[in-house]
Amino acid sequence: MRTIGLINWKGGVGKTSTALNTACLFANSGLKILVVDADKQGNISTWFGADPSGLTLADILLDGTDASEVIQHTRYENIDIIPSDASLIQANYEVLKDKSKAQHDILKRSLESVKGNYHICIIDNPPDSNIPVLNCLLVMDDIIAVTLPNRFSLAGIHQLQMELNNYNQALHLSLKVRGVVINQYTTECTDIFNEIASKYKIFPTIRGGRNTQKWLDRVINNQKSIFEVCPNSGYARDIKRFGNKLAEVIEADATGQEVLW
């Protein structure tokens, strides 16, 4: 299982929209996907129709519950989910309080039994830093920052980078941002693009605009992916380009080849 996390300290940059459509893209090509919702808002859980009475990521973090007991099937044959809801707030607090146990690798241990069942795991992160995020960072093979082409969102990546540096020091890890995907990109944003490119690898950009907003409103409100709502839209093509690059990175890592960025 290759685990990809979409993340930024900044909110509203498109983490969830990118996560759910990319999950559907990979699932459509026959890959088995596990989605992990690390956000107490539970947006991606609701979108995938997770049963609100079921166990959640909070149960994993609180009791070390095995992931196999928490995973729910979704309406998509190839997509399962570890959902989250507001109970994650209390779980974060309880785990932080109990200093007698390791706090960072609870999810890692819980996923051991299921990682052979999936090709790809996609983690949708909240716009903050806490125990659920730390646990998710520990299982990510690729930490992918999603950003809008503006300085506030970019600051969110720098804040994330500082968080990773702190964890690297404290826990002797080597976490780093694998690349950045710029969401709602327009050609007016070339300065920001160049600034990001000077520090990070850049994945194919994803367009914004009124048309895309219209399609995404339908995606979110009708609980259908962009590939069901409008497979020929520019947004669907951009998600495909992003997914293809991810697939290229995964393939290159497996074969020891260099990726051309």
Ligand X SMILES: Nc1ncnc2c1ncn2[C@@H]1O[C@H](COP(=O)(O)OP(=O)(O)OP(=O)(O)O)[C@@H](O)[C@H]1O
- Residue 22 binds ligand X (CB under 6 A): no
Three-state SS at 37? strand
State which of residues 216, 226, 229, 246 lies at the interface with ligand X (CB under 6 A): 216
Contact string (CB under 6 A) for ligand X, positions 175-194, x = contact = --------xx----------
State which of residues 4, 5, 15, 35 lies at the interface with ligand X (CB under 6 A): 15
Contact string (CB under 6 A) for ligand X, positions 127-146, x = contact = x-------------------
- Residue 85 binds ligand X (CB under 6 A): no
The item of ligand X, Mg ion, none sharing an interface with residue 17, based on CB under 5 to 8 Å by kind, is: ligand X
> Exposure of 185 by Cβ count < 10 A (0-12 exposed, 13-18 middle, 19+ buried)?
buried
**CB nearer Mg ion, residue 19 or residue 114:** 19
Minimal distance, residue 206 CB to ligand X, in Å? 5
The item of Mg ion, ligand X, none sharing an interface with residue 22, based on CB under 5 to 8 Å by kind, is: none
Q: What angle do CA 159, 141, 119 make, to 5 degrees?
A: 140
Dmax of the chain from CA atoms? 53
The item of Mg ion, ligand X, none sharing an interface with residue 245, based on CB under 5 to 8 Å by kind, is: none
Q: What angle do CA 13, 18, 24 make, to 5 degrees?
A: 165
For the four alpha carbons of 187, 189, 191 and 194, in that order, the dihedral sign comes to negative
- Residue 148 binds ligand X (CB under 6 A): no
Looking at residue 11, its amino acid is G
* 8 Å CB contact between 181 and 205: yes
- Residue 16 binds Mg ion (CB under 5 A): yes
- Residue 39 binds ligand X (CB under 6 A): yes
**CB nearer ligand X, residue 114 or residue 229:** 229
First to last CA, the chain: 24
Contacts of Mg ion in 33-92 (CB under 5 A): 43
d(CA 11, CA 159): 13
